[in-house]
Structure 1
Amino acid sequence: MGILFIFACASFLVPISKGQDINLNITQLTTKNIDFAMDLYRKISSYHDNNIFFSPLCISTAFAILSMGAEGHTRAEILKGLNLDQLERDGQPDLIPELFQQLQVNITHNEDLQLAQGTALFIRLEFDVERAFSDQIKKFFNADIQNIDFAQPKASKTTINDYVKKRTGDRIHEAVSDIDPFTQMILINTIFFQGKWELPFDPSNTQNGRFFVDKYNIVQVPMMFREERFYHASDDSLKVKVLRLPYKGDIAMLILLPNKGVDYTSIDDEINAERFLGWTKQLQITKLEVQLPKFKMDQSYEMHKILPHLGISSAFKNMANFSGLSKEQGLKVSEVLHKAVIEVDEKGTTAAAATVTGITGYSLPPTFIVNRPFFFFIYHEVTNSLLFMGRVINPTKM
């Protein structure tokens, strides 16, 4: 028997609000999730040199739910692969789902922020799910659970895609293209973000400009322009510059731009939670001319081919132990599909404690021109939760 997982994430085009008292364990959760994101990014990037975009929170949430139904080695592998095993405490089996629940409450409390995360479990009509598991995912993740007739693949596909379409603001239309009539269960986790720049770009200032994909390829792309006071920093040891672009609410985009002549691939192995948090702490404000390309991305990943390289493997094999989810025999994960889209324009974005050595406040020249491959991170500033991350090699490519 197989379980099909679909993660549908959409991100659409924020001064820092630190007034909330955040539980230390939530901070530990978000830090672990950043490192998971970087590990996952490195694995994805090893397959190609193209654009990358995904939601680490979307993926980690879905597998945290899956771990609640897993037992023994399967559960241990999932938590270790997510970098969450160190958060476990004896006698507190609900601690990790409680942390995810608290994190979601902290992220979504701001009325200025359009961010919604949802979970749905579509179960075969005669499939018997353990009551304790269904109660828990409803309690901690407010999951929608409904029976569906997978023997009617066309109708079930329509039902699931309509659900994803609705939960992602009509941005993801076909999360699943076909369904095996022998499917037992489909778990879907969606995240939808629509943010408006706190300092929007004036469309009348947008002009075509050159973007240097590499030494031999130059493309023309609409470049947005704004002169304003921005937060920025420089990591001299990594040879990158950092720019913070705030949205209304508690969300920001952090752009990581390698210095001229620096190969972006040399940075891949160096990005981690410690560095990321170091950048956010070292930001300083100054008047700056910013040029940023408009871009769209629509990315899909078969995570069942990627996650085993992060140590999550038994969940996909016949040895999988999901006895906490169901007493049915031979249950394993058959597919893990992750689809994420983003659009960045003048209005905003629409989508799905050690000090870091060498990082100092940096007095940049009057321009910050993003005209070569760069990284970006969309994160919740109060909790430092990484919602989305990506790499733009060619902004003219989806």
Structure 2
Amino acid sequence: MKSALYLCLLLLGFHVQGLPKPSHSEEQEEQKAVHCPGDHAHGEGEKRSHCKIAPSNAEFAFRFYKQVAAEGGDKNIFFSPLSISVAFAMLSLGARATTCHELHKGLTFNMTDMEEQEVHEGFRDLLQLLNDPHREVQVSMGNALFIDDHLKLLQKFLDDVTNFYESEAISSNFQNISEAKKKINDYIEMKTHGKFVDFLKSLSSDTVMVLVNYIYFKGYWEQPFSSLLTKEDDFFIDAKKSVKVKMMHRSKAYNVYRDENLSCWVVEIPYKGNVAALFVLPDEGAMKQVEDVLLKETVSNWANSLKSRKINLYLPKFSISGCYDVKNLFQKMGVKEVFGDQANFSGMTESTRLKVSKATHKAMVDVNENGTEAAAVTVVEVMPISLEIPPPPVIEFNRPFMMLIFDKTTSSILFLGKVMNPPPITSTSH
């Protein structure tokens, strides 16, 4: 039985463009302006490379969240900023000139502070740490390039995506759309443990390459909720509307912070394996003011302010998903050329002009008590008798809240979301 299951995908479709290839001299001038990727290795001794990219990845996460929230209205939000960052950073290996510059800027990498090589080394380090099979938490993240049989990619690009991003290069026949689509969908279904079946509904006849990034996470709470304490309760979507949910309950010590300036509670619930969920509960009517200042500095302040204290915690069981047109969102964030006829992927292929025609991201989450396995344990807690103290605060997530899944090993935000309207209890709910 699982306590939480998170999956997400990013699909990038590449489109053939019948455009004239820039002359050799033009291409050289463009690459002088914004050199990408860096070809010079920088040894950093024992310092872990992922630390250098962590601040930019966090900044991108909140920037993308705000773009989604601005368009989402009262919808649930759930996505993996890391999945999107990895996919587009890998894509930048083949980008040149303005196309590359826009990608770096969109991903919030300040290329005056670091070399392009360091970005890719950082992601290589991050992927190795996330995929470590010896971790208590199950995390798997990977990439694949489905490449048309007739598309000739530069060996340097193929070597780089394998070296930095552990990407598989899978030869595909895009002249046979149904065959290519089935191959991609079978791969996605396998890598996401059957959670995404027939994910790719259609494929353009002009497609010559599809990039897939997947992340799969299964975590067990360090201290599971007891299903015996889960009761039916109200979740207030707004002042006038509520739905019935299965509300979990636990009265224990958690790392908690009350942010009086932003009028919200922050509760950290740890998973086994150095990963934690941060649940943020704004006071009624305070969601927007919290979202407006959702920055890496804000979350860092929350994390540094957490203190262990006993609380009466109420958290609903819920399953939500999100599906996003990343192309549309990126264009609104200033990343445009990669999707247009001026796209420069001359670091990927010399023989064909390419542009990204489609970018789709989908994620899903399931949060519950952690169920029951075939085991039993008896725990007797002994504590000193103390003077009468005020009762612990009640923190009840019975109204819209935000959640953030943070991997402490890599300092990475794996997932970010907002629960506005959890699915109500149905007669078939367990």
Structure-1-length-normalised TM-score: 0.87
Matched, 1:266 2:269: no
Partner Cα distance (1:78, 1:271) in 2? 22
Once the two structures are TM-superposed, the CA of residue 155 in structure 1 deviates from its matched residue by 1.6
Structure 1 residues 211, 22: closer, same or farther in 2, change over 3 A? Answer: farther
Matched, 1:382 2:406: no
Partner Cα distance (1:385, 1:94) in 2? 19
Equivalent residues of 1:244, 1:253 under 8 A apart = yes
Partner Cα distance (1:22, 1:243) in 2? 34
Partner Cα distance (1:205, 1:273) in 2? 35
> Which residue of 293, 296, 315 maps to 2:338?
315
Matched, 1:191 2:215: yes
Residue of structure 2 equivalent to 1:296 = 319
Give secondary structure in 2 for the equivalent of 1:139: helix
> Which residue of 86, 102, 124 maps to 1:77?
102
Residue of structure 2 equivalent to 1:150 = 174
Residue of structure 1 equivalent to 2:351 = 328
Letter in 2 for 1:51: N
Runs of 4+ in structure 1 over 6 Å off: none
Once the two structures are TM-superposed, the CA of residue 346 in structure 1 deviates from its matched residue by 0.7
Letter in 1 for 2:338: A
Larger radius of gyration: 2
- CA deviations on 1:179-238 (whole Å, 9 max, x unpaired) are 112211000000000001111111111111111100111111000111111111122211
Equivalent residues of 1:377, 1:390 under 8 A apart = yes
Matches within 5 A, 1:1-398: 7=10, 23=47, 26-48=50-72, 49-86=74-111, 89=114, 92-109=115-132, 110-259=134-283, 261-347=284-370, 365-396=392-423
Q: Which runs of 5+ in 2 are unaligned?
A: 1-8, 12-44, 372-389, 426-430
Residue of structure 2 equivalent to 1:12 = none
- Identity level (%): 32
Equivalent residues of 1:22, 1:383 under 8 A apart = no
Equivalent residues of 1:87, 1:96 under 8 A apart = no
Structure 1 residues 329, 195: closer, same or farther in 2, change over 3 A? Answer: same
Partner Cα distance (2:349, 2:242) in 1? 54
Moved more, 371-380 or 321-330: 321-330
Partner Cα distance (1:364, 1:45) in 2? 36
RMSD over equivalenced CA pairs, Å: 2.0
Letter in 2 for 1:54: F
Residue of structure 1 equivalent to 2:384 = none
Partner Cα distance (1:65, 1:270) in 2? 29
Structure 1 residues 378, 37: closer, same or farther in 2, change over 3 A? Answer: same
- CA deviations on 1:112-145 (whole Å, 9 max, x unpaired) are 1100001000001100111000001101111110
Partner Cα distance (2:46, 2:286) in 1? 37
Paired residue total: 364
Q: Which runs of 5+ in 1 are unaligned?
A: 1-5, 9-20, 349-362
- CA deviations on 1:265-316 (whole Å, 9 max, x unpaired) are 2222201001111111111101121110011112211111110111111000
Once the two structures are TM-superposed, the CA of residue 25 in structure 1 deviates from its matched residue by 5.2
Structure-2-length-normalised TM-score: 0.81
Partner Cα distance (1:77, 1:279) in 2? 31
Partner Cα distance (2:51, 2:421) in 1? 34
